[in-house]
Amino acid sequence: MISIKSSREIELMRATSKLAAATLEYIEPFVKPGVSTEELNQLCHDYIIKHGAYPSPLNYHGFPKSVCTSLNEVICHGIPSKKDVLKDGDILNIDVTTYLNKFHGDTNKTFLVGNVSDEVKKLVDVTYRCMMAGIEQVKPGGFIGDIGAVIEELAHREGYSVVEDYCGHGIGREFHEDPQVVHVGKRGTGPQMKPGMTFTIEPMINLGTKHCKVLKDGWTVLTKDGKFSAQFEHTILVTDTGYEILTIREEEK
Ligand code: MF3
Ligand code: CO
Ligand code: CO
């Protein structure tokens, strides 16, 4: 069942999503060589709490930290750690989800750490364009499958693979709601979009194989071949005419 948010609920989605976006803006200057992912986790945690919200990942199905930090070949769900200290040439995805006034807002960004190789910079750039191409498909009457179709097409055109084992999701009173938003597929398939639906689009794009493995910690998802992976995520509202990016940051306007 895909929930349709009322105008009051949409206002609450706007507020929580805005805080999630602001958290990514806040953390950016700290993402530098020498900082640990645990320090970044603590800064995000304190920022979210200070703004009257709760970090949705913390204790979610036992996840031990407040944000996910996914470094280089980690695709998603990386666990912040004192042992993971950023160095020149890394890429780090920070995935922030806030719970404010009973609603979740979910967004992530892949940061470049110092001087990143041209090959990896291009991966990050194409991944952002994949997310935006997916977002541009959002409109009433469109199909959820249209989103994955354009993402897959762009990623493959650039010679990359698309992760299929993890996907976008409806979001609202629950962190993960219907529908599933897969990042591959065929136009005209899946549920039809209606005004008031809110869901994420969060493609994970790999330099090498699309196949994943999960560490023994039960969370950390990495590429099977050890090649780099990038991701971007926004929470999207279907409007009467198209879409609104609820987690948009100033740098994107
Ligand atoms: N924020 C992730 C997503 O985009 C989910 C993280 S679940 C956690 O759906 F438990 F790892 F935090
Ligand atoms: Co998400
Ligand atoms: Co997320």
Question: Is 120 in a helix, a strand, or coil?
Answer: helix
- The Cα 137–Cα 140 span in angstroms is 10
Which atom in ligand 1 lies closest to the alpha carbon of residue 97? 1
- The Cα 53–Cα 45 span in angstroms is 10
Question: How far, in Å, is the centroid of ligand 1 from the Cα of 104?
Answer: 11
Long-range CB pairs of 211-216 (<8 Å, 24+ gap) are 212/75, 212/163, 212/165, 212/166
Among protein residues, the one whose CA lies closest to atom 8 of ligand 1: 57
User: DSSP letter string over 19-63?
Assistant: HHHHHHHHHGGG-STT-BHHHHHHHHHHHHHHTT-EETTTTGGG-
Q: For residue 118, give both structure tokens.
A: 């041209």
Half-sphere exposure of 11 (CA within 13 A, CB side): 2
Contact 2, 170 (CB under 8 A): yes
| CA angle (217, 222, 226) in 5-degree steps | 130
Question: How far, in Å, is the centroid of ligand 2 from the Cα of 166?
Answer: 9
- The Cα 52–Cα 37 span in angstroms is 23
Question: How far, in Å, is the centroid of ligand 2 from the Cα of 238?
Answer: 16
Contact 149, 185 (CB under 8 A): yes
Which atom in ligand 1 lies closest to the alpha carbon of residue 166? 9
Contact 94, 40 (CB under 8 A): yes
Q: Please name the fold of domain 7-247.
A: Creatine Amidinohydrolase (3.90.230)
- The Cα 131–Cα 193 span in angstroms is 17
Q: Give me the tens of pLDDT residue by residue for the chain, a chain 253 residues long.
A: 999 999 999 999 999 999 999 999 999 999 999 999 999 999 999 999 999 999 999 999 999 999 999 999 999 999 999 999 999 999 999 999 999 999 999 999 999 999 999 999 999 999 999 999 999 999 999 999 999 999 999 999 999 999 999 999 999 999 999 999 999 999 999 999 999 999 999 999 999 999 999 999 999 999 999 999 999 999 999 999 999 999 999 999 9
Task: Say which amino acid occupies 120.
Answer: V
Instruction: State pLDDT tens for residues 160-181.
Output: 999 999 999 999 999 999 999 9
- What phi and psi values does residue 55 have, to the nearest 5 degrees? -75, 110
